[in-house]
Amino acid sequence: MHSKKITVKHYLNKRAKPRIYRKEEYYPLYIQLIVDAKKAQIKSRLSQYLSIYHSEIEQFTRKDSDLDKLILSGYFTEKLFDKVHGDKIFPIAQLLKDEVSVITKIIIHQKPFENKNFTLNNFSIEYKKHVTEITEIIDDSIKESYRKSLNKLFLESVDKDDLKKTFNIANFFIHYINWNLPFSNFYEITYEVIPSELKYIENHIDQSLHTAIKAYMAYHSKVNIVKRFMDKQDWGRISTLSYLDWTT
């Protein structure tokens, strides 16, 4: 009988090709997962989480730019890795601890000891999904639906004199808006600059989409994303506001 234990542990993957700096070998950081005799290895996402801590890393390395790049890429020597843990170097040690906590929560949510279909296969995909900024997921979904609605209005109004206004506004929104930006940015700016045109389109899109937009913008105005981000950053925690924030 297997013990009902979840093991999540960081290690340096010495099977990977090392990066050499000052005659020392730096290896990428990985994570060993063991759950009910099932095993998997995934690459740590530490490098993504460290991207907002450049000044702290520079302070730790005493502005050694080459060493900065190695650490920010998630590469360590055994000695450096031990120092991070032993001295609890901020924010690396704290982020590693939070990464273990987050992965453990993800596994627990999947009820590994009750679910016969539980697997660690492709766990890195599951991990990424759970730490993706939830606002980004909602924003992308609404933006995609909104653009589809605009394209539909555009096609339905082509060469129709009675729908010329619809055609002009839809055409402008489709071809002259930078859709690489978040939908919330588009909505807030458009509401300030050309509110009547925005309202006109809202009156012609699907009611369920209209309701979703209103709900999302209300959420966006109430949830202080920047404050949450800064609070997590101060504690050396994974800074994204993710699905896990509502389930734990």
93-152 tens-digit pLDDT: 999 999 999 999 999 999 999 998 999 999 999 999 888 888 888 999 999 999 999 999
Give residue 201's pLDDT band: very low, low, confident or very high (50, 70, 90). Answer: very high
Q: Are residues 111 and 83 in the same domain?
A: yes
Domain count, the chain: 2
Domain that holds residue 40: 6-120
Burial class (CB in 10 A: 0-12, 13-18, 19+), 45: buried
Residue 175 counted as domain residue: yes
Indicate whether 2 pLDDT > 60: no
Q: What is the pLDDT at residue 1?
A: 46
- Angle, helix 65-72 to helix 54-61, in steps of 10 degrees: 130
Residue 246 lies in a domain: no
Q: Chain-centre distance of CA 23, in angstroms? A: 35
Coil, helix or strand at residue 98: helix
Question: If we measure between CA atoms, which residue out of 172, 178, 134 comes closest to residue 153?
Answer: 172
- Same-domain status, 19 and 116: yes
- Residue 169 located in a structural domain: yes
Same domain for 107 and 12, yes or no, is: yes
In a domain, 30, yes or no: yes
What's the rounded Cα separation, in Å, for the pair 78 and 24?
10
The whole-angstrom separation of Cα 131 and Cα 75 is: 21
Examine residue 232 and state whether it is found in any structural domain, yes or no.
no
With the CA atoms of 103, 109, 113 and 115 taken in that order, what torsion angle do they form, in degrees rounded to the nearest 10?
-120
Confidence (pLDDT) at 130:
87
Q: What is the mean pLDDT of residues 14-25?
A: 98
In this prediction, what percent of the chain has a pLDDT beyond 90? 80
Show the beta-strand stretches assigned E in the chain.
6-12, 19-21, 24-35, 38-43, 75-76
Kindly state whether residues 108 and 160 are assigned to the same domain.
Answer: no
